[in-house]
Amino acid sequence: MGNPSVYNVVVWGDSIAAGNSEHNWPAIAEHLFNTGMNTGRPVRMINQSFHGKPAAQARLEFPERVAKHNPDLVIIQLGFNDMRYDGARGHQPISTLAEFASHLTEMVQLCRTQTKAKVILLGNHRSRSALILPTGLPYDQARAQYNQVVRAVAQEQQTPFYDLANELTMPHADWMDFVCHDGVHLSPLGYIAYAHFVVNRLREILAVSPS
């Protein structure tokens, strides 16, 4: 019958998935799945994540970041950059909560209508930041608000949602072990934790629809 077809997964996100020269969780997840969890269909993780990328910008890059790869699954995780204040909009962040919801909705719909891919939305992990944003809201409370937007979009679009603030776990590790010194980006263990989480989701998906 020849080689089984590869299951293409596009990861559409920001620096959390883009990683650095030594670590990125999509590459780790691909290796872990194909060497330890592959029961008949290999996975190819196509990392289309970029540092500093908000959904406000990512949604405009669908043709080159997602569509051309003909994905079976798209994993979307954004938000940390949308909640930033870069000075371009005065007292508004890059995307307000309502704008962020609109951007994510557009992204999900593009994936479904243009590629027919399954979509998974991820909420961001907890942060360890003492920053107070211009609204007066502590950084991690703002992160939680944007996570709630992702959850609401997922419910409205009937798309699986996983809140990594609650679901990112490893035996004998605390959530603070998953972030590096800046309190937001992932530590080496954090990349491993993300990869393990995604590999388990891929196992579930391919067990239901292996072909």
Domain 7-208 bears CATH identifier 3.40.50.1110: yes
pLDDT of residue 4: 57
Q: What does the alpha-carbon distance between residue 122 and residue 75 come to, in Å, rounded to a whole number? A: 7
pLDDT of residue 72: 97
pLDDT of residue 209: 60
Please write down the long-range contacts of 179-187, taking CB distance under 8 Å and 24 or more positions apart.
Answer: 179/125, 179/126, 179/127, 179/128, 182/129, 183/127, 183/128, 183/129, 183/130, 184/80, 184/127, 184/128, 184/129, 185/15, 185/16, 186/16, 186/19, 186/23, 186/25, 186/125
Report domain extents, the chain: 7-208
pLDDT tens-place values along the chain, 211 residues long:
334 599 999 999 999 999 988 889 999 999 999 999 998 899 999 999 999 999 999 999 999 999 999 999 999 999 999 999 999 999 999 999 999 999 999 999 999 999 999 999 999 999 999 999 999 999 999 999 999 999 999 999 999 999 999 999 999 999 999 999 999 999 999 999 999 999 999 999 998 764 4
3-class SS shares of the chain: helix, strand, coil, % to 5: 45, 15, 40
Q: Are 108 and 76 in contact (CB under 8 A)?
A: yes
